[in-house]
């Protein structure tokens, strides 16, 4: 039985068939992966993000008034710098979750300023929860306590940063509203590291 089966698999037709199937499979897999990754990269640009009028007219307009857009040192963050992890499963998860925003645009849930503001608290909380859970990984890709020159910060800011560093605080604990407006209900923010 095994000898007959082995004989069938070792026939030239079977061997060439396996080679063709293997080569085609590898080619399809490679093209699929490259195509998927290309789409991920193309949809991770600020241009793509603001191609939707909800993002352009709401979030991007606010962002252009912040220090992350225009600052004394001339370093500008892009949408992906704050909202999209750099690689691996966190990147793909973020892209999948971003489909909610597209769905909200398509279905008209957030397609006007009024509707966007109505959903803003929930949308913002999702981002803050994610950033809290990953220790503000996106912020830390540019900012670190170790690189800070506390002597050149305002005294209150330096004290707050040192306290956060000592207590294991993370960026989102203190810097809510630094790149976008706060939801109306959260304008009087409450955290352990406030400067007040």
pLDDT of residue 113: 86
Q: What is the pLDDT of residues 132-143, one digit of tens each?
A: 998 988 888 888
pLDDT of residue 30: 95
CA nearest 130: which of 84, 63, 69, 188?
Answer: 84
Q: Give the mean pLDDT of 85-100.
A: 84
Q: Sorting pLDDT into bands at 50, 70 and 90, what band is 185?
A: low
pLDDT of residue 182: 86
Is the pTM above the cut of 0.75? Answer: no
Q: Helical H runs in the chain?
A: 2-9, 12-42, 46-49, 53-54, 61-63, 79-83, 88-107, 113-133, 137-140, 155-167, 171-174
pLDDT of residue 192: 46
Q: Sorting pLDDT into bands at 50, 70 and 90, what band is 32?
A: very high
């Amino acid at each position: 039985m095994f000898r007959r089966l082995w004989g069938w698999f070792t026939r030239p037709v079977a061997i060439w068939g396996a080679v063709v199937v293997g080569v085609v499979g590898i080619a399809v897999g490679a093209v699929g992966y490259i195509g998927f990754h290309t789409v991920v990269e193309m949809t991770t640009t600020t241009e793509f993000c603001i191609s939707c009028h909800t993002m352009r007219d709401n979030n991007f307009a606010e962002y252009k008034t912040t220090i992350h857009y225009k600052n004394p040192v001339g370093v500008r963050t892009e949408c992906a710098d704050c909202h999209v992890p750099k690689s691996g499963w966190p990147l793909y998860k973020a892209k999948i979750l971003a489909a909610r925003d597209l769905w909200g645009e398509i279905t008209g849930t957030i397609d006007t300023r009024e509707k966007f503001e109505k959903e803003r608290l929930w949308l913002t909380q999702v981002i803050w929860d994610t950033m809290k859970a990953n220790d503000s990984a996106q912020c830390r890709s540019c900012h670190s306590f170790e690189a800070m020159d506390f002597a050149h910060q305002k005294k209150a800011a330096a004290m707050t940063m040192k306290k956060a560093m000592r207590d294991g605080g993370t960026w989102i604990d203190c810097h809510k509203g630094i790149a976008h407006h706060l939801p109306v209900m959260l304008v009087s923010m409450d955290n352990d590291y406030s400067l007040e």
